[in-house]
Amino acid sequence: MVEDIALEDEILGEEDELVLIVAEPPSRDIAEELADLHMLTGAGFISMLKQITQHREFCPLQSDSNIFVIEGMQGEDYDNLLNAARKAVEHGYRVFILPNPKGIRTADFIFERKGVYRMYDLKTVIGRSSVDNRLKESIGQTNRVLLNMAVDYNPRHLAIAIKRYFEQNLNAVEVLIFKGNKMTSIIREDTETFVFIRNFMMKYNK
């Protein structure tokens, strides 16, 4: 008799009728999957992002089928999340707004476009001197930050803050900026050139 059985079978039914039921492994809680992200890198990290987006708890918004939320999700920052999510949809993304389980530092979004999955921490900029602090807040949550600019901001000061953020956070990969209907992506390599600030100002003011 083989005792190591990978799948648990249960036989039910009457004398002449047998029904075979294969027990399914229990689905993992989304909070556990979000916690695992802090221990993963590379392909494992991306695979977990994809797995999280396939969680049964996500449902599309009635107003926009490309934005997915978990029922009952609310909070003081919810309107800012929806505002940024709608802008991302305009740029071709499907957006998954992540829950914020207690005791776990999580980002705010998973963006998916053409099979590419990325996770972003949202920082809505409403003050003219807040970018430095907002970027610092994201350290330890994810390596990609989304700045949703809700105020006119000096582009030179913004460029300096982004450059400083990459210098202070060696794990940082990207700062994505929404300004009105425009999207600007800054990666680490951009900030390492001596003409970054000038190039950024020209790009941001177009």
**How buried is residue 26: exposed, middle or buried, by Cβ count under 10 Å (0-12/13-18/19+)?**
exposed
Mean pLDDT by 10 residues, the chain (206 residues): 39 42 57 90 95 94 94 82 97 95 88 97 87 89 94 94 95 96 95 95 88
Nearest-angstrom CA–CA distance, 67 and 177: 19
Q: Is the pTM higher than 0.85?
A: no
**Which CB contacts under 8 angstroms, 24+ apart, belong to 65-71?**
66/93, 66/94, 66/95, 67/94, 67/95, 67/97, 68/94, 68/95, 68/96, 68/97, 69/97, 70/30, 70/97, 70/99
pLDDT of amino acid 111: 98
Whose tokens are 């994201």? That residue is 138
pLDDT of amino acid 130: 81
pLDDT of amino acid 75: 73
pLDDT of amino acid 28: 77
**What is the Cβ-side half-sphere exposure of residue 12, based on CA atoms within 13 angstroms?**
4
pLDDT of amino acid 17: 43
